[in-house]
Every structure is written in C-alpha cells, then in structure tokens.
Amino acid sequence: MFNRRKFIKASALSTALLAIDKKSMANVVPSAVAPTNKPIVISTWDFGVAANAAAWKVLSANGKALDAVEQGVWVPEADESNQSVGYGGLPDRDGKVTLDACIMDEAGNCGAVLALEYIVHPISVARKVMEKTPHVMLAGDGALQFALEQGFKKENLLTPASEKAWKEWLKQAKYEPVMNIENKLYDKASPQKLPGNQYNHDTIGMIALDAKGNLSGACTTSGMAYKLHGRVGDSPIIGAGLYIDNEIGGATSTGVGEEVVRNVGSFLVVELMRQGYSPEDACKEAVMRIIKKKPETAKNIQVGFLAMNKKGEYGAYAIQKGFTYAVCDAKKQDLVIKGKSYY
Ligand code: ASP
C-alpha cells in the first residue's frame, strides 16, 4: 500500500541531497575543470601550417569552426605543388585525378564526396551535400553532376608535374604506397624534380574549436597515387577519416586508408576520448588496434591519427616515424609537432 508519510520523507531527503550535491558541485566544478584552450585549429602534416593560417583568420575573428575548416583546407586543395590533395594531386592508374573529401559540424551534420573529378575544392562540394541535400555522400559522376548544378567550375586537375610523375610510374606500374615522403622530400620549389612515386599519398585532416566552443572538422585528399580507378579511401568516410562529436572531441586520419576503414579509426579515437583517454592515448590505442590485427602489414605502411578534445587539448600517434601535425592557437600560429609513433 502506498505510504504517504514514507513518500514525503523520501522526497524531502532526496531534495536535501540534491541541494548538497548542487552546493558541492558549485564548489568543485570550476576549479576542477581546466580552462578550455579556444579557439584552436590543428591539421595533419607540415602543409597544415598554411591551412591553419587560413582557418585562423576565421577563428580569430570569432567565426565558426565549420567555416574555418572549410577555408583552411582550401589552401592545400588549391596548391598545385601539393601532389596529395586537390588540384595537382597524383592521378589513379588511368591518369585520372579523383578526390575524396568530407566535412562534419558541431551538430553532427556531415557531407562527403567520393572519387570526384574536375573540381578544385571537393570540400566545398561536400559541404553543399551536407547543407543542400538529404544525403551524406555523393560519388563519382553523380557528385560531379551535383557540383556543376551548384555552380562549381569544371577544371582539369592533372598538372604537368603530376602527369609527368604518372607517366614515369607507368614504366613499371608497380603499386607501392610510400611512407612519409612529404617530410623528407617535399620540395615545394621544384616538385617536378622528384621521381614518379615520391608524393605517393597524404591527406589534410583538420579539426577546429571555435570561440563559442564548437567543434568541426574537414578531411580532403587525392588519395593513394596510382590507385585503381574508383578506389575510395578513408578520407571521405565519416567515422573513418573524420569524426566529430561536439560533446567529446574530434579525430582525423592520414595514411593507408584501407586500414583506417577496417577499424573505423576516427570514430574509435573519439569514443576512446569519451571513455577518458587523452587525445594522444586515444590515437595510440587506435594505431595499436591496426597493428594488432595485421602486424606484418603494419610494418610497411603508415597510418596516423590526430585528435582534439572539447577542452582544446590535442595529440597524435602514428605507426611509423615521420608523421607531423600543425597547431595554431592564440599562443602560437605555426607550430609543427612530430607525432609519436610505434616504430
Ligand atoms: N588516407 C588517404 C587515403 O587512403 C591517403 C593518405 O592520407 O595518405 O586515400
């Protein structure tokens, strides 16, 4: 039978407990939570420095993280000397430049284009997919058709330097992802001097936290050089190449995309941060997952993860040495950090 007196007693007690709880929280929370470092933007590889600078213009003017990441990655997408992203990217085996990109905002909205040809800024087409369609991904000819309908210009993306590299590659036609080429050999002044397979692959993955404390991310690449026509990597796959959860943080990846897809890498990193891992430890755990499943493969490939949490703390981890990332915040505009690695 319902006992009114007991009920009143119990609810009085819980109200009292709630009051104590609120009071103690009021004492504890402000001093226990470290101040958030915002705005801040991070991105993969040395070429992230120039991309971060463009993103910073948006962030430092109190702009949105979403605009910052889109405008940030425009820089390598348009940079013809960067042969692993956008215009000037190395082609597939058939000599076609096919681009993969995705974008994700603080509300969990996302858009992606897969194997898109002829458009210099695939990231902006991905954003249009997110904002103007009920879909998340558009691929190949359909993605191109949509881009043209949205007013994007059709352009030849195969530069003379990349065409030359491809023709050189065709002589042996051996598909061999090369590790960390960007650091040792990235020679912006004269990329054409380098042999055919030396800018084999890379991606710009970028995560920004804006002044309002909102996170967004972007990821864009021409993928693995000399891949099969139609091959899609991790970069445009939400959860693999990029993932953002505005409550927790964001993660992005670079390297051999097949291994990242197999492990849903970026989602894994964010979920590990949810469990309390630091960004670097979360990236490390995701790398270890890849190594554990395929130790022999992992010896000869590169995969790197980069992550930031809601407090603006960041970290990275890669299978191989040589992975770098760029950081830009109010303290430092052009910081390049060597990511830790398993080997
Ligand atoms: N993850 C890219 C892909 O597999 C390439 C890279 O970042 O190196 O297409």
Q: Which of the residue ranges 94-98, 148-152, 193-197 would you say has the lowest mean pLDDT?
A: 193-197
- 246-271 burial, b for 16+ CB within 10 Å, e for fewer? bebbbbbbbbbbbbbbebbbbbbbbb
User: What confidence score (pLDDT) does residue 24 get?
Assistant: 46
335 pLDDT higher than 70? yes
Q: Which of 336, 285, 278 is nearest to 53 (CA)?
A: 336
- Containing structural domain, residue 155: 40-341
Q: Which of the residue ranges 170-179, 200-209, 225-234 would you say has the lowest mean pLDDT?
A: 170-179
Ligand 1, pocket-test mutation among 198, 254, 259, 264, most atoms within 8 A of CB: 254
223 pLDDT higher than 60? yes
Query: Regarding predicted confidence, which is higher, 175 or 168?
Result: 168
212 domain-assigned = yes
150 pLDDT higher than 80? yes
49 domain-assigned = yes
Task: Say if ligand 1 is within 6 A of residue 242 CB.
Answer: no
Q: Which of the residue ranges 30-39, 236-245, 324-333 would you say has the lowest mean pLDDT?
A: 30-39
User: Choosing from 44, 159, 203, 324, which is the catalytic residue?
Assistant: 203
The string of pLDDT tens digits covering residues 68-96 is 999 999 999 999 989 999 999 999 999 99
- C-alpha distances (whole Å) from 10 to each of 3, 14, 18, 287 are 11, 6, 12, 50
User: What confidence score (pLDDT) does residue 174 get?
Assistant: 81
200 domain-assigned = yes
Average pLDDT value over all residues in the chain: 88
**Three-state helix/strand/coil letters over 62-122:** CCCHHHHHHHHHHHHHHCCCCCCCCCCCCCCCCCCCCEEEEEECCCCCEEEEEEECCCCCH
Query: Regarding predicted confidence, which is higher, 194 or 299?
Result: 299
Looking at the structure of the chain, the number of domains it has is: 1
* % residues pLDDT > 70 (the chain): 83
17 domain-assigned = no
Section 280-306 average pLDDT:
96
Which domain CATH number covers 233?
Answer: 3.60.20.30
The distance between the two most distant Cα atoms of the chain, rounded to a whole number of Å, is 90
User: 216 falls in which pLDDT band (50, 70, 90)?
Assistant: very high
Instruction: Tell me how far apart the alpha carbons of residues 254 and 325 are, in angstroms, rounded to a whole number.
Output: 11
Q: Which of the residue ranges 23-32, 92-101, 193-202 would you say has the lowest mean pLDDT?
A: 23-32
190 domain-assigned = yes
User: 179 falls in which pLDDT band (50, 70, 90)?
Assistant: low
User: What confidence score (pLDDT) does residue 191 get?
Assistant: 39
203 is annotated as an active-site residue: yes
Q: Residue 167: how many CB atoms within 10 A of its CB? A: 11
240 pLDDT higher than 80? yes
16 domain-assigned = no
User: What confidence score (pLDDT) does residue 200 get?
Assistant: 72
Task: Say if ligand 1 is within 6 A of residue 203 CB.
Answer: yes
Q: Which of the residue ranges 56-70, 161-175, 237-251, 265-279 would you say has the lowest mean pLDDT?
A: 161-175
201 domain-assigned = yes
* Three-class secondary structure of residue 7 per DSSP: helix
* % residues pLDDT > 90 (the chain): 78
Q: Which amino acid is at 4?
A: R
Output the pTM of the full model: 0.86
Task: Say if ligand 1 is within 6 A of residue 182 CB.
Answer: no
312 domain-assigned = yes
